Amino acid sequence: MLPVLVVHGGAGFIPKERVQMSCAGVQAAVRGGYSKLQGQGSAMDAVVEAVTLLENDHHYNAGLGSVLNAKGEVEMDAIVMDGRYLASGAVSAVRKVANPIQLARLVMDKTSHLCLTGEGASQFARSMGVPEVPEESLITEYARMRWKKNLAADANPVECQMGKMGTVGAVAVDAEGNIACATSTGGMLNKMEGRVGDTACIGCGGYADNRVGAVSPTGEGEAIMKVTLARLILFHMEQGRSAEAAADEALAYMKDRVGGLGGVVVVDPQGEWSVRFSSLQMAWAAAQQRTLHYGLYTGEHFTKNIDDPN
Ligand code: ASP
């Protein structure tokens, strides 16, 4: 079954006019990441490549296009994890970097820490030669419009989160059986300044272990953190459940126990994979044996040859 790459573009509700671009973006990201897997690239190279492509695509809530916090600013969270050694790196509430996922990888590779936050993360970025970009260059008209709408006194906080575009994430198994995950987000719309979501927290916004599998979640971060969603799914897999059954059980638990909706992409060490979500939609794409798999609504699963450009 090996190797495989599975990518998501966020759980939630995607406004009609943005559906096509959301689906195209995850397919482009999976093609980019999969080409790494087919070359000399590792699972880690593939997930970072896929997430970087999605951070650069303004249709997603990560990197360019991130949602704004209550003050109208961009603060982003990102995580990577390498299933060989349980090595991980994350950044939280980081500002003015175009690709938080690459900074998270540097935290993993170049420090003895797992997570750097706020100004400390920015200082580390500077010390690594990561260019600082103007905050304005990460903000889209769409993000500003959503922010303003949510500031209105009569705004419905639940409804307002619905139109927000997706967090992005990826999981992969490479030809050597190594497993990795990556997740990146601008977080929840109009969040408080300094809010750290699930994405930066190991076991919540991502987990990878060569012995069990990998998960990249998306959804309401506070709910994901309460149930440590990524690790909960791997726990069920350790008990013998398939990736799909484990994901369904954990998502149902999150809904019942704390009322949270979300979605996940999951792989196991054999290269079996699964995409499950309790939200209305989640744009996703996967590549294995030169077949591209993709879908948006529950139960949707289309396939085509990976070289098919349409
Ligand atoms: N989990 C993200 C967060 O709470 C948001 C999302 O996945 O849509 O920051």
Q: Phi and psi at residue 225, in whole multiples of 5°? A: -70, -40
pLDDT over threshold 90, residue 99: yes
Please confirm, yes or no, whether 185 is among the known catalytic residues: no
Q: Which helix (H) or strand (E) holds 26?
A: helix 16-38
- Distance CA(76)–CA(192), nearest Å, equals 12
Please give the tally of structural domains in the chain: 1
Q: Measuring from atom 9 of ligand 1, which residue has the nearest CA? A: 187
If one residue of 199, 216, 251 were mutated to test the ligand 1 pocket, choosing by the most ligand atoms within 8 A of its CB, it would be: 199
| Residue 161, pLDDT score | 62
Block residue for tokens 């059954």: 245
Which domain, by its residues, includes 227?
4-305
Which CA distances in Å does 296 have to 226, 259, 262, 310? 26, 22, 14, 16
Q: What is the pLDDT of residues 140-162, one digit of tens each?
A: 999 999 899 888 877 766 666 65
* Residue 296 within any structural domain of the chain: yes
206 lines ligand 1 (CB under 6 A): no
pLDDT on residue 164: 58
Q: Strands of 213-219's sheet, edge to edge?
A: 207-209, 213-219, 262-267, 273-277
45-54, 75-84, 157-166, 176-185: lowest mean pLDDT where? 157-166
The answer as to whether 310 is a domain residue is: no
Domain harbouring 48, CATH code:
3.60.20.30
Q: What is the pLDDT of residue 15?
A: 85
Give the tokens for residue 177: 């059986």
C-beta separation of 49 from 32 below 8 A: yes
Helix, strand, coil in percent for the chain, rounding step 5: 35, 25, 40
* Active-site choice (52, 111, 117, 167): 167
Q: Which residues fall within 8 angstroms of residue 124, CB to CB, at 6 or more apart?
A: 103, 106, 107, 111, 116
Q: Determine if ligand 1 sits within 6 Å of the CB of residue 199.
A: yes
- CB of 167 within 6 A of ligand 1: the answer is yes
Q: At CA 147, angle to CA 143 and CA 153, rounded to 5?
A: 160
Q: Is 267 within 8 Å of 173 (Cβ atoms)? A: yes
**pTM recorded for the entire structure:** 0.97
Residue with tokens 């990976």: 306
**293 with 302: CB under 8 angstroms?**
yes
Q: Is residue 299 part of a domain?
A: yes
Pairing of strands 115-117, 87-94: parallel
Task: Please enumerate, by residue number, every residue annotated as part of a binding site for substrate.
Answer: 195-198, 218-221
